[in-house]
Structures are given as structure tokens and as C-alpha cells.
């Protein structure tokens, strides 16, 4: 995610329940995956079996990671043998969970069927019995499927276009009169015909698998967080409330720039790569202090902050000094500044790159509000030059979208040359007024901010005189 440290003053208030407040229903069972040793559920029930799984520090700090070239599974009882408790109902009820793929729909999806929740085993002729969620190999659809083992199959699906490392909230409610699938708190599709097909008790006795099929082969290729099951049908308002109550920090939907998830590996690390925007920028290093390692390259924060107002006549500016901690010692972290904490039109300014344990000073900041945020080194498009943080905060473009304009000029090239506002006419602009347009400067390898005069026309490009 874009690890952030905001600098501002805020008051405090005591939260009060609004009139008519209805508490959220209590789930049958839930799995937060906090116990990475014994893998007990939130009620303390032990799993039937597990192998080749781990947790990731993404999400709320504990996410189930099922993504390996070895068979991997996590299997729980549906009916607890010790007390007879039911953990999942397959005919009437609800299930909710968060899932973050390590694949993108635009890049071909997971490449095979990715099982998310699996009871039994799906067969082409419904000869055994099955109940669960899956993603098709292209990553184009999320499906709920149920089979009774007698030749009957039920299917409800919704098209998706998901991007690597964004968590999505999935909720299903089902009964004999309706089946509804919700994605990120909103109704994606429903079937008023209801559910009448489900596996028998023999299949249910094998339990439920999270993140794979029963053989551990068709793995989810992603992360799970906070699975919850209910024996009642949740209405749409309750689904939205659950989504909102769990919609914290790293479990935000894709449209929230500040909660970008950084990696879908269980132990994310940073591999240096070309970055078009690099260097110390406006940051002035004043001291090196003992560095504190974060839990990953993306777990960083700002600390030890001091701010001083500097006055010169009627002009006042702020000098701010702070320390970067967490993350890894060899990773450059972008620092962004903005006088507004949130604005749909006001982009953040890139201030430079700092390192773990570095104490930095920024001068000539606004004398009123100033907010700083650290950007992680994560890039959805490695080797194309820009981090997701820079694209989201400065350029205000989607990291999952095109990385080139219609003239074939990389957005990273514009950023490298100080052109940080992406507009439709940028390719044909001429900021240095040398009669060579920006896209021509890119093709010829010249600087769009430095006038080349007429000397450049005397050179040749691919044996042809002049600029294309």
C-alpha cells in the first residue's frame, strides 16, 4: 500500500450509536487467520488439516496466502465433532470474505481455475457434489457454483475486472427464494429463483477449504482476509454495513488511492528497478539515525516531526524536519506534500526520495496546513518507470491503465522531465518553445524543457533529415 504518515491536528469525539441503530448479526464462525501456527478459527476450533500455506502482513496484518507450486490447502470442519456446532450452512445463509488477487484481469487472470471457497469437488457431470466460489482462468468472472451429485448444477456469476493486489469484499446471500452476490458492498447480480441444489451430508463431512480445491492444486493465487459465515440471509443494508465496518486501512477498494496494497506475496521485498523520478529532490539530509526495520519494504512511517514558521517581512513559510523509519535500509521512499489533505483536483507534489533512518528537512513549505505522505516503491508496471504512488498522487492516473499516451510517449518520460500534469494536449505542447513538440523530443531523445534551437535539425534520425 501507499504507507502514509499525515501531519495534522485533530480533535477527538466520543462515538455514539445513531437512533435506531441495529447491531450487526453474529456470524456462525469467522476466520481472521491470526493463528499462523495452529490455524485455529476465531472461535478456537482447529482445522482438519493444512499444508504449504502462510500468512501475509497485508490486509489487517494477517492474510491467508495460498499461492505455491506445491499442493496447498486449509481445511476446516463444517460440523464440529466436539460440540456439534455448525460453521457453514449451504442451503440458507450468507458468507462474506475479502480477497486480493496476485493477478490482473487485463494480464490474463490467474491462468487456471482459482478456487476461493471449496466444499466437495466440482465435476462436469455433477457426479459428486460441490459448493463454493471460484475465478475463471482469464480472471473475467467470479462464480458461485453448487452441485448435488445427482447431475444438477447451479451457477451464479458476475463479470469482474480486478487488478493485482487490491482487496475486494465478496458477499453471498442464499435461500430457496433468492441468491444475491455482492462485490465491494454493492449488489452485482441476483437470482430470484433461489437455491435448491447443494451437496449432501457425505460431502459436507469433508469440510470446507479456503484458497484451494480439495487436492490443493487449483489455488486461489491471492490473499484471504476475514471470512465470516451466517445461518441467516443478510439484507443489502447489512451487507453494506459489514463492508463499511471492515473497510479499514489496507482493506479498501481499488478506487481509494491511499490504501493501495503493495504485494501479494507472503514476505514482500523490494527489488531495485528503474524509476524515472529519483534523487533527493528538495529533501535535505541533516542526520542519519539508527534505522528501525519494518515488517516489509512497504511498512514505513514518518516520525520525530518538528515544524517551524519562518517569517521574512510579511512572508511566512514553514520548515519541517522529520525522520523516515520502517521499511528496508536500501529502499528509496518518495515523499509527497500537499496543503490539502484531500482534493479531487489538487495533486500532491513530489518532494524527493529518502531512506530509512534518514532525518530530512524541507523548507519553504506553506505557512498554513502542510501534509506529508510516504510512497512505497511498489509499481504495477515494473520497469516502466513510475511507482503507483507517484501515478495516483501526482499524475492522478490509474496504475492499472495505459502507461503511454496516444503518441506512444511513456508517462514516465513526462514525469522525468518535470511535466507532471497529464493532459490530452501534452504530447503536442512545446514548453521550451523550440518548435519541437514533446512527442518529437521523446522520439529524438532531447529534453522538452531545454531549447534545442535549430542545431537539432542538422542531425539525422534513421537516415532521414529532420524530426519525425
Q: What is the pLDDT of residues 73-111, one digit of tens each?
A: 999 999 999 888 999 999 999 999 999 898 889 888 999
**Is the pLDDT confidence value at 31 over 70?**
yes
Residue 268, in any domain of the structure: no
pLDDT band for position 465 (50/70/90)?
Answer: very low
**Is the pLDDT confidence value at 244 over 90?**
no
Looking at the fold, whether 119 and 171 belong to one and the same domain comes out as yes
**Rounded Cα gap, residues 34 and 55, in angstroms:** 8
pLDDT band for position 194 (50/70/90)?
Answer: very high
Check residue 339 and give its pLDDT: 78
Looking at the fold, whether 164 and 289 belong to one and the same domain comes out as no
Greater pLDDT, 76 or 383: 76
Looking at the fold, whether 79 and 163 belong to one and the same domain comes out as yes
- Asked which of 237, 259, 281 is the last residue of a domain, the reply is 259
Residue 195, in any domain of the structure: yes
Q: Which region among 16-25, 163-172, 378-387, 414-423 has the lowest average model confidence (pLDDT)?
A: 16-25
pLDDT band for position 266 (50/70/90)?
Answer: very low
Q: What is the pLDDT of residues 174-190, one digit of tens each?
A: 999 999 999 988 999 99
Cell numbers 466460489 correspond to 133
pTM: 0.53
| Highest mean predicted confidence (pLDDT) among 179-193, 256-270, 449-463 | 179-193
Residue 206, in any domain of the structure: yes
Residue 99, in any domain of the structure: yes
**Is the pLDDT confidence value at 441 over 70?**
yes
Check residue 349 and give its pLDDT: 87
The mean pLDDT value of the chain amounts to 81
Domain of 338, in residue numbers: 273-394
Check residue 181 and give its pLDDT: 96
Secondary structure string (H, E, C) spanning the chain: CCCCCCCCCCCCCCCCCCCCCCCCCCCCEEECCCCCCCCCCCCCCCCCEEECCEEECCCCCCEEEECCCCCCEEEECCECCCCCCECCCCCCEEEEEEEEECCCHHHCCCCCCEEEEEEEECCCCCCCEEEEEEECCCCCEEEEEEECCCCCEEEEEEECCCCCCCCEEEEEEECCCCEEEEECCEEEEEECCCCCCCCCHHHHCCCEEECCCCCCCCCCCEEEEEEEEECCCCCHHHHHHHHHHHCCHHHCCCCCHHHCCCCCCCCCCCCCCCCCCCCCCCCEEEEECCCCCCCCCCCEEEEEEEEEEEEECCEEEEEEEEEEEECCCCCCEEEEEECCCCCCCCCCEEEEEECCCEEEEEEEEECCCCEEEEECCCCCCCCCCCCHHHHHHHHCCCCCCCCECCCCCEHHHHHHCCCCCCCCCCCCCCCCCCCCCHHHHHHHCCCCCCCCCCHHHHCEECCEECCC
Greater pLDDT, 405 or 62: 405
Residue 5, in any domain of the structure: no
406 is written with which cell numbers? 496516444
- Asked which of 394, 422, 455 is the last residue of a domain, the reply is 394
Q: Which region among 74-78, 245-249, 346-350, 439-443 has the lowest average model confidence (pLDDT)?
A: 245-249
Residue 145, in any domain of the structure: yes
Looking at the fold, whether 420 and 305 belong to one and the same domain comes out as no
Looking at the fold, whether 458 and 387 belong to one and the same domain comes out as no
334 is written with which cell numbers? 518518495
CATH number of the domain enclosing 167: 2.60.120.200
pLDDT band for position 445 (50/70/90)?
Answer: confident
Looking at the fold, whether 284 and 144 belong to one and the same domain comes out as no
Looking at the fold, whether 411 and 365 belong to one and the same domain comes out as no
Looking at the fold, whether 352 and 468 belong to one and the same domain comes out as no
**Is the pLDDT confidence value at 197 over 50?**
yes
Residue 37, in any domain of the structure: yes
Looking at the fold, whether 354 and 468 belong to one and the same domain comes out as no
Looking at the fold, whether 213 and 277 belong to one and the same domain comes out as no
**Rounded Cα gap, residues 170 and 162, in angstroms:** 13
Check residue 6 and give its pLDDT: 41
- Asked which of 229, 259, 289 is the last residue of a domain, the reply is 259
pLDDT band for position 274 (50/70/90)?
Answer: very low
Looking at the fold, whether 220 and 314 belong to one and the same domain comes out as no
Give the number of domains in the chain. Answer: 3
Greater pLDDT, 104 or 13: 104
Short-list 288, 52, 253, CA closest to 169: 253
Check residue 48 and give its pLDDT: 94
**Is the pLDDT confidence value at 271 over 80?**
no
Q: What is the mean pLDDT of residues 363-371?
A: 78
Looking at the fold, whether 340 and 245 belong to one and the same domain comes out as no
Check residue 135 and give its pLDDT: 95
115 bridge partner residues: 134
pLDDT band for position 276 (50/70/90)?
Answer: low
Amino acid at each position: 500500500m501507499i504507507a502514509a504518515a499525515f501531519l495534522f491536528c485533530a480533535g477527538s469525539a466520543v462515538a455514539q450509536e445513531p437512533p435506531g441503530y441495529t447491531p450487526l448479526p453474529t456470524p456462525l464462525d469467522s476466520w481472521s487467520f491470526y493463528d499462523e501456527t495452529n490455524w485455529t478459527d476465531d472461535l478456537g476450533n482447529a482445522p482438519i488439516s493444512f499444508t504449504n500455506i502462510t500468512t501475509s502482513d497485508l490486509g489487517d496484518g494477517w492474510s491467508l496466502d495460498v499461492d505455491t507450486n506445491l499442493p496447498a490447502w486449509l481445511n476446516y470442519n463444517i460440523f464440529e465433532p466436539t460440540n456439534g456446532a455448525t460453521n457453514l450452512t449451504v442451503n440458507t445463509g450468507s458468507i462474506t470474505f475479502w480477497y486480493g488477487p496476485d493477478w490482473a484481469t487485463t494480464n490474463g487472470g490467474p491462468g487456471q481455475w482459482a478456487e476461493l471457497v471449496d466444499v466437495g469437488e466440482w465435476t462436469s457431470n455433477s457426479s459428486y457434489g460441490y459448493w463454493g466460489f471460484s475465478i475463471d482462468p482469464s480472471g473475467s468472472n467470479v462464480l458461485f457454483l453448487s452441485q448435488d451429485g445427482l447431475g444438477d448444477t447451479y451457477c451464479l456469476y458476475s463479470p469482474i475486472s480486478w487488478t493485482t493486489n487490491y482487496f475486494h469484499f465478496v458477499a453471498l446471500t442464499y435461500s430457496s427464494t433468492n441468491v444475491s452476490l455482492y462485490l465491494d458492498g454493492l449488489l452485482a447480480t441476483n437470482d430470484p429463483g433461489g437455491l435448491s441444489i447443494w451437496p449432501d451430508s457425505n460431502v459436507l463431512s469433508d469440510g470446507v477449504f479456503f484458497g484451494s480445491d480439495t487436492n490443493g492444486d487449483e489455488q486461489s493465487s491471492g490473499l484471504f482476509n476475514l471470512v465470516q459465515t451466517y445461518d441467516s440471509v443478510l439484507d443489502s443494508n447489512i451487507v453494506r454495513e459489514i463492508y463499511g465496518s471492515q473497510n479499514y486501512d489496507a482493506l479498501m477498494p481499488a478506487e481509494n488511492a491511499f490504501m493501495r496494497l503493495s504485494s501479494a506475496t507472503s514476505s514482500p521485498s523490494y527489488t531495485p528497478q528503474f524509476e524515472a523520478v529519483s534523487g533527493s529532490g528538495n529533501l535535505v539530509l541533516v542526520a542519519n539515525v539508527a534505522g528501525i526495520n519494518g515488517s516489509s519494504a512497504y511498512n514505513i512511517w514518518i516520525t520525530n516531526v518538528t515544524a517551524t514558521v519562518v517569517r521574512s517581512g510579511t512572508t511566512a513559510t514553514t520548515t519541517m524536519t522529520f525522520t523516515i523509519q520502517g521499511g528496508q535500509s536500501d529502499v528509496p521512499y518518495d515523499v509527497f506534500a500537499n496543503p490539502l489533505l484531500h482534493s479531487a483536483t489538487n495533486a500532491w507534489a513530489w518532494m524527493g526520495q529518502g531512506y530509512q533512518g534518514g532525518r530530512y528537512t524541507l523548507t519553504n513549505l506553506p505557512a498554513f496546513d502542510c501534509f506529508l505522505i510516504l510512497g512505497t516503491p511498489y509499481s504495477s508496471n515494473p520497469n516502466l518507470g513510475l511507482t503507483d504512488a507517484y501515478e495516483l498522487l501526482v499524475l492522478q492516473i490509474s496504475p492499472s491503465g495505459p502507461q503511454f499516451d496516444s503518441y506512444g510517449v511513456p508517462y514516465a518520460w513526462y514525469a522525468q522531465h518535470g511535466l507532471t500534469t497529464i493532459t490530452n494536449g501534452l504530447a503536442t505542447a512545446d514548453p521550451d518553445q523550440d518548435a519541437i513538440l514533446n512527442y518529437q523530443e521523446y522520439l529524438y531523445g532531447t529534453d522538452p524543457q531545454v531549447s534545442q534551437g535549430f542545431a537539432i535539425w542538422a542531425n539525422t534520425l534513421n537516415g532521414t533529415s529532420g524530426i519525425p
